Amino acid sequence: MAAGAEPVRPLSLAVSGLAFTYPDGTQALHGIDLSIAAGERVALLGPNGAGKTTLVLHLNGILTPGHGSVAVGGLPVTKANLHEIRRRVGIVFQDPDDQLFMPTVRADVAFGPANFGVRGDALDERVHAALDAVGMAEHADRSPLHLSGGQRRRVALATVLACDPEILVLDEPSSNLDPVARRELAEVLLGLDRTILMVTHDLPYALQLCPRSIVIDDGVVVADGPTRELLADPDLLRRHRLELPYGFTLRGT
């Protein structure tokens, strides 16, 4: 979209002073500041109820901030830009059954790009490329219902990849996956070469995939730094109800 005049690419994601109160009066976010450069892979960590999901729903304008602003690839999230913003922010939801709502895998992957105006051969190409990227091309004509959990998760990823997003947002990508499916998904994600924001409770997964982590608790950012350093700080983890699996400890570099 943007002309090649700029010397540096704009930040993939810039959030500043974001605050949000739900209609029932619960304040979920108290001023979040964070920025993610193009190509970064960042884990968003925090206990249940910290505001992670609320933050994610602001990134593509499903929730409208009370204060502060969000910009994706330099484009502010406003009502007028909503369509383009939703193309730029690809959210993979936690339960693939929520994400895969069309009768066949192919139709589901085509849903996003078709909404964004891609048609005909270009659409077929997009669908094929996205399914290929997640290793599901041979299942294009099956019903999502007949796929395994890991396959469904990868198709859900493909539905978003087909929109060619600026930033991929993954909500608990490793939940309900067996170890092999979990590893296969990690391989797919590492091979994508895209900006990724991954919301997770799975700390080893965050360490494996994301060089940088952001911890939020009670609606504010409480830590932002290299994942290994954050996970090697037992006090920080304890304060924010984060915990490495039994038997694991990490030493900072």
Partner 1 sequence: MGAGHAHPLYLPRTSAVHGLPAEVKVVAAFLGVVCVVATPREAFAVFGGYLLLLALIWSIARIPPGWLSRRALIETPFVVLAVLLPITGPDPRIDWLGLSVSEPGLLGAWNILVKGTLGVLTSLTLAATTPLPELLLGLQRLRAPALVTTIATLMLRYVDVIVAEARRMRLARIARGHDPRFLWQVGATARGVGSLFIRSYERGERVHLAMLSRGWTGELPQLAERVTTRRDWLRGLAPVAVAAALACTGWVIA
Q: Which of 1, 5, 80, 145 binds partner 1 (CB under 8 A)?
A: 145
Nearer to partner 1, 106 or 240 (CB): 106
Q: Which residues of 122-156 are buried (b: 16+ CB within 10 A; e: fewer)?
A: ebeebbeebbebbebbebbebebeebeebbbbbbb
In the complex, minimum distance from the CB of residue 96 to partner 1, in angstroms, rounded to a whole number: 10
Positive or negative: CA dihedral 123, 111, 197, 65? positive
Position 115 contacts partner 1 (CB under 8 A): yes
Enter the DSSP assignment of 244.
Answer: P
| DSSP helix/strand/coil, 76 | strand
d(CA 251, CA 231): 8
Q: Taking CB under 8 A as the criterion, which residues in 161-180 touch partner 1?
A: 163
In the complex, minimum distance from the CB of residue 93 to partner 1, in angstroms, rounded to a whole number: 5
> Residue for token digits 């979920």?
28
In the complex, minimum distance from the CB of residue 162 to partner 1, in angstroms, rounded to a whole number: 9
In the complex, minimum distance from the CB of residue 85 to partner 1, in angstroms, rounded to a whole number: 10
> Residue for token digits 């919301």?
199
Nearer to partner 1, 62 or 190 (CB): 62
Which residue from 54, 47, 61 is spatially nearest to 22, judged by alpha carbons?
54
d(CA 29, CA 220): 6
Judged by CB under 8 A, the stretch of 28-36, 69-77, 80-88, 243-251 that binds partner 1 is 80-88
Judged by CB under 8 A, the stretch of 43-51, 92-100, 192-200, 221-229 that binds partner 1 is 92-100
Position 103 contacts partner 1 (CB under 8 A): yes
In the complex, minimum distance from the CB of residue 73 to partner 1, in angstroms, rounded to a whole number: 16
Using CB under 8 A as the binding criterion, the count of chain residues that bind partner 1 stands at 38
Positive or negative: CA dihedral 29, 47, 249, 192? negative
Site residues (CB under 8 A) for partner 1? Answer: 57, 60, 62, 83, 86-87, 89-91, 93, 95, 97-104, 106-107, 110-112, 114-116, 120, 123, 141-146, 159-160, 163
